[in-house]
Structure 1
Amino acid sequence: MGALKLSGVETCYGPSQVLFGVDLEIMRGEVVTLMGRNGMGKTTTVRSIMGLTPASKGTISFGDTAIQDLRSHHIAKMGIGYVPEGRQVFSNLTVLENLVATAANNAGLDEPWGVEKVMDLFPRLRERASQYARTLSGGEQQMLAIGRALMTNPSFMILDEATEGLAPLIREEIWHVLEHNLKQSGQAILVIDKHPQAMARIADRHYVMEKGRVVWTGSSEHLLSDKDMQHRYLGV
């Protein structure tokens, strides 16, 4: 059974249609990427999943439940952790307060995410626990945004441009956490990113979007070998 499935999803901003029949599926325990140039519909797809920009047609299912007509806070409570583009941490709260503010859904879990577990994952957050989020570097804010999503103890996570604009060393640190911590723990994740070499290492399968449509899907092996696709749709 798929953790998340989109079938024929169409989404509009007012009179302008942005998504045209998007089909996408992530199975439980899978890491899947959604790639493409800027403005091709990746973030709109995520916003449709989260109920922030509701789909006008099609279905979005999480487990056995259709969620396309639900409000965003109900979708989040069902177990979808969302790390939005631009991080959007609570700037006037400390690192510790940011983490505590989103703690939820830990009843009945063998090893729930808590503050100490998140800080073990990102030791920089422990060093800066009492600092206001606005004083952190961009990379540290991104770590905090991921940690905050993990504190909801999600069964499924979405990371929208989690490494955009970050220094290469910080980017590698976040990719390492995705590959060696979250993926190995069985966390289902949808990652929006622009780096096919790194994504091929981290993810199981890949979707590529162009002008609001999925135009390519395949394994990591196919992603790396299809140079024509990379050049045409990813600008690599």
Structure 2
Amino acid sequence: MGDLRLSGVETSYGPSQVLFGVDLEIKAGEVVTLMGRNGMGKTTTVRSIMGLTPAKKGEISFGGVAIQDFRSHNIAQLGIGYVPEGRQVFSNLTVLENLVATAANHAGVDDPWCVDMVMDLFPRLRERAKQYARTLSGGEQQMLAIGRALMTNPSFMILDEATEGLAPIIRDEIWHVLEHNLKKSGQAILVIDKHPEAMARIADRHYVMEKGRVVWSGTSEDLLENEEMQHRYLGV
């Protein structure tokens, strides 16, 4: 277990700079959101944390260890579970095979996640255990992607647009799991999402990005009260 901190992070794609001095902090056991319109740097921030698009400047630390120069698989082994935008499940493996393929205990927990626990969390996956992942609906694939990340037994999870494009009933089911199962169990999570009211229920604190910078941060109460900020930066 440990805090995740970003300090002065700058990231570029070739000559194009995307992040401009991003500062974030998520403490152990906290649920925190990162919000903003499309193209404002949220996914690039996540990719920098995971070492997929390494930061050019600044420091990223997890549990007091500077990880900005680590490779992605080493970052995962430290106990950071990643549910990427677009799900990216193993389409030619079954649901069960997807879950088993990532099984590990990176955080060294005493009661690790197992297949049965994930399927209890998402009963649809149990019903479809022998189906190939490519035959699942988008919502079921997202459940599988979350379950696959949990099977690594992370101390920290990142969910990038976990409910993007999903039917409201599926979106609500995933939010329910985040709020009533993962948060209550003390799972630290960074959630990238666009729904302030739902995120205010689920998360402890919030950051908002605009053009590669953090332009606002606050509690759930602050978020709901600040309608001007929501309109200006979130378009709601």
TM over 0.5: yes
Which residue number in structure 1 is paired with residue 76 of structure 2?
A: 76
- Pairwise mapping of residues 70-219 of structure 1 onto structure 2 (< 5 A)? 70-105=70-105, 108-219=108-219
Q: After superposition, what is the alpha-carbon deviation per residue over 1:154-201, rounded to whole angstroms, capped at 9, x for unaligned?
A: 000000000000000000000000000000000000000000000000
TM-fit CA distance, 1:108:
4.9
* Alpha-carbon distance in structure 1 between the residues aligned to 2:226 and 2:95: 42
TM-fit CA distance, 1:54:
0.1
TM-fit CA distance, 1:58:
0.1
TM-fit CA distance, 1:107:
8.2
Q: After superposition, what is the alpha-carbon deviation per residue over 1:53-112, rounded to whole angstroms, capped at 9, x for unaligned?
A: 000000000001000000000000100000000000000000000000000016852221
Q: Is residue 107–residue 155 contact of structure 2 (8 Å, CA) maintained in 1?
A: no
Change (3 A) 1:161 1:233: same
TM-fit CA distance, 1:3:
1.5
Q: Is residue 106–residue 112 contact of structure 1 (8 Å, CA) maintained in 2?
A: no
Q: 5+ unaligned residues in a row in structure 1: which ranges?
A: none
Q: Is residue 197–residue 224 contact of structure 2 (8 Å, CA) maintained in 1?
A: yes
Q: Is residue 106–residue 113 contact of structure 1 (8 Å, CA) maintained in 2?
A: no
Q: Is residue 31–residue 183 contact of structure 1 (8 Å, CA) maintained in 2?
A: yes
Which residue number in structure 2 is paired with residue 65 of structure 1?
A: 65
Change (3 A) 1:2 1:130: closer
Q: Is residue 27–residue 188 contact of structure 1 (8 Å, CA) maintained in 2?
A: yes
Q: Is residue 30–residue 189 contact of structure 1 (8 Å, CA) maintained in 2?
A: yes
Change (3 A) 1:18 1:168: same
* Alpha-carbon distance in structure 2 between the residues aligned to 1:130 and 1:24: 40
Count of residue pairs brought into register by the alignment: 236
Q: Is residue 34–residue 192 contact of structure 1 (8 Å, CA) maintained in 2?
A: yes
Name the stretch that deviates more: 105-114 or 64-73: 105-114
Q: Is residue 35–residue 207 contact of structure 1 (8 Å, CA) maintained in 2?
A: yes
Q: Percent identity?
A: 87
TM-fit CA distance, 1:2:
5.4
Which residue number in structure 2 is paired with residue 25 of structure 1?
A: 25
Q: Is residue 52–residue 72 contact of structure 1 (8 Å, CA) maintained in 2?
A: yes
* Alpha-carbon distance in structure 1 between the residues aligned to 2:213 and 2:172: 29
* Alpha-carbon distance in structure 2 between the residues aligned to 1:174 and 1:3: 24
Q: Is residue 163–residue 174 contact of structure 1 (8 Å, CA) maintained in 2?
A: yes
* Alpha-carbon distance in structure 1 between the residues aligned to 2:225 and 2:37: 19
Greater than 4 Å deviation, 4+ residue runs: none
Q: After superposition, what is the alpha-carbon deviation per residue over 1:113-145, rounded to whole angstroms, capped at 9, x for unaligned?
A: 000000000000000000000000000000000
Root-mean-square deviation (Å)? 1.1
